[in-house]
Structures are given as C-alpha cells and as structure tokens.
Amino acid sequence: MAIEFGIAIVGEILARTSSLLESLLGDLFANRTSVQLMQHAASLDLQQLEDAEVYDKLERARRQTVGRIGLFTGILASLQDLITLVSLAIAITVYVPWLLLLLALAVLPSFLGETRYAALGYSLLFSWTRERRQLDYLRYIGASDVSAKEVKLFGLSDYLVGQYAQLSDEFYEANRQLAIRRAVVSSLLALVGSVGYYGAYVAIIYLTVTRHQSPAGPFTLGVLTFLAASFRQSRDLIQRFLLSLAQLFEQALYLEDLFTLLRSRAPDPPVRRARS
C-alpha cells in the first residue's frame, strides 16, 4: 500500500511538472517568436509592406506565434510511444514476426489519409489568407467601439454585414466540403484497418487451436492471452504514433509560414553611380 501510494504521488507530481513546463515553454516560445516577428517586420522597407503578397505572409506568420509548442511536446510523446512499441514488437516477433507487419499495414492507410487531408486543409487556409484577413477587418470595423459611431453615422452597417456574411458563407462552404470528404475517406480507411486488425486476431486463435510451433514454443492459452494483449496495445500505439506523425506534419506546414517570412530580407538599396 505504501509503495502504491508513493507511485501515485510521484506520478501526480510528474504530471503537474510536465504540464507546468509545457505552459512555460509555450509562453517563452510565443514571446520569443513575437519579438522576432516584430523585429523582422520593422526591417522590411515600405515597398515590401505595400505588397499584398508580403502582407499575407506577415498575416500567416503572425498566426503561428502562439499555440505551436504542441509540435515539440508531440515529438516527445511520439518518441515515448515508439520506445514502448519497440519493446512490444520484440515480444511479438519472438512468436509471429509477420503479425506486426500485418498490423502496420492495417494502420498505414489511415496515416496516409490523415496526412493527405492535413495538407489539403493547410492549402485551403493558405489560399484564403487574404479573405480571412478581410473577414477580421470587417468584423473589427463593424463591431469595434472605435468605429461604431462612424459606421452608424454613414449607414455602413448593412454593407459591412453583407460583405462579412457573403465571405464567411463562402469560406464555410469550402471548409464544409473538405471536412465531409475527410470524414468519409477517414471512415473508409479506418474500416480497412479494422478488417486487418481482427483478421490478425483470427490468425492468432487459429494458431493456438492448431498448436502451432513457434521459435519460442507451442501456442498455448497463455501465449494467446499474451499475444492478444500485446497485439491490442501495439495496435493502439502504432495508430497513435502514425496519427501523431500526421498531426506533426500538419503543424510543421503551418509553422513553415513563420520561418518563410523570417528568412525573407529587405532588398538591397540601389547603388548610386557617381557623376563624372
């Protein structure tokens, strides 16, 4: 009882410490990247700031200064899952090496589907950068205390509301179509994975019934129980690991907007030739 109590206390302390460090690292990342972004924006010349494409890059980069610490924590969690998966894979390989390969192939379609639609989602937001900026502008002008009197005096409310409603409906429709396609395709790919998963279960039961001989000995009820538990946990780990990679890929796509802007530089001033 005392050992269990001590383990529970240590686990709670570690969980709280991890949450605290993640929060502090997130704040440091947001502050540091915001300072870098502000300094970089100040280094651009007026001609660049008047360019709509550069302004769109600045807007996309600004959105990435917060909430991206999850990329770092996701990498650490994926490494932890990978270590556990390797331990289980060694145990399963001793009995049935091809089962682990079957399990990986069963989960792979879902991973490819998530990665594909993560890229499509990023592409949609990328193509709508200007319109999303316009939506923020219309929402600010139409509902801000700074411009409320002017909007009322000049009768601009109906125009602003109409423009916002039209743009927001168009963006919603584009996002809705992509979300529906993603849900349908993900469901079908998950069905393929489930078929492979339960097919492997049937194979384990068949090997146990026929008393199949493996390098580690015959298949018994104890081996069946062990393989079933290891196989189930391995499946969850592989699925979580591959889906985490897909999410990390998606976050990396968005974070690239920030790095792309920070790599850009103001053009060198033209060299003036001295008059002879």
CB hemisphere CA count around 234 (13 angstroms): 26
Answer whether 242's CB lies under 8 Å from 110's CB: yes
The structure's pTM equals 0.64
Q: Could you read off the pLDDT tens digit of each residue along the chain, which spans 276 residues?
A: 666 667 667 767 877 777 777 777 777 777 787 787 778 777 777 777 677 677 777 777 776 666 666 666 777 777 777 787 777 777 777 777 777 777 777 777 877 887 888 888 888 888 888 888 888 888 888 877 778 778 878 888 888 889 989 999 999 999 999 999 988 988 888 787 777 777 777 877 777 777 666 665 666 777 777 777 777 777 777 777 777 777 777 777 677 777 777 776 655 554 444 444
Q: How far is CA 215 from CA 91, 102, 219, 225, in A?
A: 12, 19, 10, 18
Domain ranges of the chain: 2-115+189-263
Contacts of 250 (CB under 8 A, 6+ apart): 118, 119, 121, 122
